[in-house]
Amino acid sequence: MLKIRWALAALSLAASTALASTSAHATDVTLWVRTSSGAVLQGLADHYNAKHSDKITVTQITAEQMVPKLGAAIAGGEPPDGAVLDLIYLPTFAAAEGLEDITEFAKSRSYFQAMSPSHIRLATYGDKIYGVPALPDASIIAYNTDLFQKAGLDPNKAPASLEEIAADAKKITALGNETYGFYFVANSGSWLIYDFLPHLWAAGADILSEDGRTATVDTPAFRETVAAYRDMQKAGAIHPTSRSGNGNNAVEAFASGKVGVLMTGSYIVNLLTSKYPDVKFAVAPIPGPKGGVSSFAGGDTLAVMKGISEEKKKVLLDFVDFYMSPEEQVYITKESGMPSRTDLAADAYASFDKRNLVAYDVLSKARTPYTFSSDELFVSRTGPFLNLIQGTIFGDDVDGAIKKAQEDFTKILERTNP
């Protein structure tokens, strides 16, 4: 993981530069966003700019470059005024003293209790809040109702547990004709924290402690989850490209009508209805091995950079109030599928596919790993999390894979915890 420990002198320079720019005239603020969220944020900025003399200038940064570029900009004393970041990186930037404390603002909002809980949790460090939700998403399952019916399953009843998914997947696979019961993206750590970890959370377990400083790999919930996956793998019920494919492969496989259950995200509803209208499907929360539901709270959080002028801070926080308004929440829903507030379901989805509500409703139960070393632990192609999943599901030594993952997690945490 990129180490973003910059000198206090650089922060002082950033603060003095920002303060020197204070003006009685209209204030322009710069906002860095990931390209994956760029179109929606640009649209929101356009709406804001059309109604205010102050202006939001959006700069799009490729997702892979956002963290290193932002870290370098802060270290060099020339950061943007604000950034819309993948929420999983908020603890790292907050711990490195790169973000502005906006606790008072956040807690004073009438919609504070309606903000995605996991986004607020990841934006909290040392009992202070350093960011607010911008464009959240959540992980869910999609299942092909035609295949369920053909396999003698109730197409109107979502699987209530992972063990039930495994049983259903084997029945669907038995239909033959290159039909498979289950698809998950197994070769990407980013995908696996998105759609595998919710099984553990639904069972009340986790792979990290609440404060993110200790590994808790070996739990009954983890072993039960792995057992269900291994059961499907042994039965040949997992699509053959699951192990080596990517997210695009997953959508294409499901859209072909040859996959029964797909581990996916909230975007799937709008994507399938717009590009693959003939696919008959339903969606549901991700279940635990024996029951319960959860989800990965993903997406973006807006943070204010430390040391900017009060005028610029005021504009950025005014922009937050603006995009949190019911009108703009409807716009966000139309463009990206999920608004930032959990109390606007009726307004936000009145004109859209009601299946979106499944992900929207589970957002209050969704979680995200709280960690200062996300890339090393979870994202890296050679990291311990990806090796853990590959080893326990597709390998021959479950105990050995778990033991090694616990050791590797611990080494990284001991080195990277602030």
Q: Which tens digits make up the pLDDT trace of 222-264?
A: 999 999 999 999 999 999 999 988 777 899 999 999 999 999 9
Cβ atoms of residues 225 and 289 within 8 Å: yes
Rounded to the nearest 5°, which phi and psi values hold at 348? Answer: -70, -35
d(Cα 196, Cα 109) in Å, to the nearest integer?
33
Could you tell me the two tokens for 387?
A: 């090796």
Question: Can you read off the two tokens belonging to residue 11?
Answer: 């922060």
312 belongs to a structural domain: yes
Which of 22-31, 45-54, 293-302 is predicted with the least confidence, judged by mean pLDDT? Answer: 22-31
Residues 201 and 218: beta-carbon distance below 8 Å: no
**Strand duo 82-86 + 28-34: pairing:** parallel
Question: Nearest 5°: CA angle at 252, between 362 and 175?
Answer: 90
Within this chain, do residues 291 and 375 fall inside the same structural domain, yes or no? Answer: yes
Point out the least confidently predicted range of 18-22, 23-27, 114-118, 158-162: 18-22
Helix axes 220-234, 162-173, angle to 10 degrees: 0
**What pLDDT score does 245 carry?**
81
| Statement to judge: residues 104 and 94 lie in one domain | yes
Say if 3 falls within a structural domain: no
| H or E element, residue 282 | strand 281-284
Which of 331, 347, 365 is the endpoint of a domain? Answer: 365
pLDDT of residue 176: 96
pLDDT tens for each residue of 79-106: 999 999 999 999 999 999 999 999 999 9
**Residues 280 and 321 both lie in one domain:** no
Residues 256 and 165 in one domain: yes
* Predicted local confidence at residue 361, as pLDDT: 86
Say yes or no: 287 and 158 in one domain: yes
Co-location of 179 and 74 in the same domain = no
Is residue 282 within 8 Å of residue 158, measured between CB atoms? yes
Q: Residue 403 — very low, low, confident or very high, per pLDDT cuts 50/70/90?
A: very high
Q: Are 221 and 288 a contacting pair, CB within 8 Å?
A: yes
Pairing of strands 82-86, 297-304: antiparallel
- 324: Cα within 13 Å, side-chain hemisphere: 23
Same domain flag for 113 and 193: no
How far separated are the first and last CA of the chain, in Å rounded? Answer: 13
Residue 250 lies in a domain: yes
Note whether 96 and 156 are same-domain residues: no
| Separation of alpha carbons 344 and 352, rounded Å | 13
Per DSSP, what are the bridge partners of residue 367? 296
DSSP structure class, residue 207: S
pLDDT at residue number 246: 76
Residue predicted with more confidence, 50 or 345: 50
pLDDT band at 7 (very low <50, low <70, confident <90, very high): very low
Nearest alpha carbon to residue 315 among 52, 11, 17: 52
The pTM assigned to this predicted structure is 0.89
Least confident stretch, 268-282, 325-339, 385-399: 325-339
Residues 222 and 108 in one domain: no
For residue 2, is it within any domain?
no
Please give the Cα distance from 56 to 365 (Å, whole number): 33
Does residue 167 have a pLDDT over 90? yes
Q: Supply the CATH number for residue 37's domain.
A: 3.40.190.10
Structural domain boundaries, residue 142: 138-296+370-416
**pLDDT in the model for residue 348:** 76
Asked whether residue 128 is domain-assigned, the answer is yes
Same domain assignment for residues 280 and 358: no
Q: Are residues 216 and 342 in the same domain?
A: no
Residue 404 has pLDDT above 50, yes or no: yes
Note whether residue 76 is domain-resident. Answer: yes
Token output for 170: 């084997």
Both tokens assigned to 5? 């420990």
Comparing 193-197, 246-250, 281-285, the range with the smallest average pLDDT is 246-250
Specify whether 358 is located in the same domain as 256: no
**The predicted structure's pLDDT at residue 156:** 96
Listed in sequence order, the residues at least 6 apart from 271 whose beta carbon sits closer than 8 Å to its beta carbon are 251
Identify the CA nearest to 171 among candidates 261, 94, 87, 91. 261
Q: Give me the pLDDT at residue 132, please.
A: 98
- CA 128 – CA 134 distance, rounded (Å): 18
**Given a cut of 50, is residue 3 above it in pLDDT?**
no
Mean pLDDT for the chain?
92
Are 85 and 93 a contacting pair, CB within 8 Å?
yes
Across the range 333-356, mean pLDDT stands at 81
Instruction: Please give the tally of structural domains in the chain.
Output: 2
Instruction: Using pLDDT thresholds of 50, 70 and 90, give the confidence band for residue 9.
Output: very low
Q: Which of 365, 392, 407 is the last residue of a domain?
A: 365
Q: Is 329 left (phi over 0), alpha (psi -120 to 50) or beta?
A: alpha
Rounded alpha-carbon distances, angstroms, from residue 388 to 159, 197, 385: 26, 12, 5
Instruction: Note whether residue 90 is domain-resident.
Output: yes
- Please state the separation of Cα 332 from the chain's center in Å: 16
- Specify the pLDDT at position 19: 40
